[in-house]
Amino acid sequence: MGDGKMTSGSGTDKHESMVGHSFAIEFQGVQFAFVNEVTGLKAEMDVIEQKSVMANNGRPFIIKHPGKNKAGEITITRGLTKDDAFTNWMKQAQSGDKKAKKNGKIHIMAPDLSKIRSYEIIQGWPKSLEIGSLKAGDTSVLTEKIVVTYEEMKPL
């Protein structure tokens, strides 16, 4: 690029910023349909600080090293439908079923629906399920939101 022209987010140039409106989510083969938002997608590590002093002058210095991966959480929001994947997964976790911990993938798609980036969620399980506000006479879309806590998130 470098020519100063604005582009459409089509993803045809590797330096072009992508538009975040096309993505897919699956946990161990189960696709989550009608998702309209994913937040909290973050890979983070601990930092190990090694404090030392110089041998020749006694001056202190710090060397930082990568530590272990940190756990995290993502929030997935979608319109409430008859699809009960969120509810069933929450029930499975609440019952103490160890199979509720699942690996998942989030794919970010280009406008032509080709995958441009993917992230793996390792050992995720639902920590909470929230239904949007119920209001008499309201005509807005009713949503359900699930917070998935996970042991690790890594780019693929």
What would the pLDDT profile of 29-58 be if each residue is shown by its tens digit?
788 888 889 999 988 899 999 999 988 888
The pLDDT of residue 98:
94
Token couple for 99: 């199979």
**Residue 5 maps to a domain:** no
**Residue 6 maps to a domain:** no
**Residue 11 maps to a domain:** no
Please state, in angstroms and rounded to a whole number, the distance separating the CA atoms of residues 148 and 122. 11
The pLDDT of residue 54:
87
The pLDDT of residue 40:
93
Q: Write the pLDDT tens digit of every residue in 52-103.
A: 998 888 899 999 999 998 999 999 999 998 988 889 999 999 999 999 999 9
**Residue 68 maps to a domain:** yes
The pLDDT of residue 16:
67
**Residue 101 maps to a domain:** yes
- Portion of the chain with pLDDT greater than 70, in percent: 87
For residue 67, CA distances in Å to 27, 46, 103, 120, 154 come to: 27, 5, 22, 19, 14
**Residue 151 maps to a domain:** yes
Band (pLDDT 50/70/90 cuts) for residue 1 is very low
Model pTM score: 0.78
Q: Is 86 helix (H, G, I), strand (E, B) or coil?
A: helix
Please state, in angstroms and rounded to a whole number, the distance separating the CA atoms of residues 63 and 90. 43
Q: Provide the total of helices (H) and of strands (E) in the chain, helices listed first.
A: 1, 10
Q: What is the CATH number of the domain that holds 57?
A: 2.30.110
pLDDT at 17 over 80: no
Check if the beta carbon of residue 20 is closer than 8 Å to that of residue 108.
yes
Please state, in angstroms and rounded to a whole number, the distance separating the CA atoms of residues 56 and 31. 60
* Terminal Cα-to-Cα distance of the chain (whole angstroms): 26
**Residue 99 maps to a domain:** yes
Please state, in angstroms and rounded to a whole number, the distance separating the CA atoms of residues 4 and 17. 13
Range of the domain at 80: 23-155
pLDDT at 10 over 50: no
User: What is the average pLDDT across 100-126?
Assistant: 92
The count of structural domains within the chain is: 1
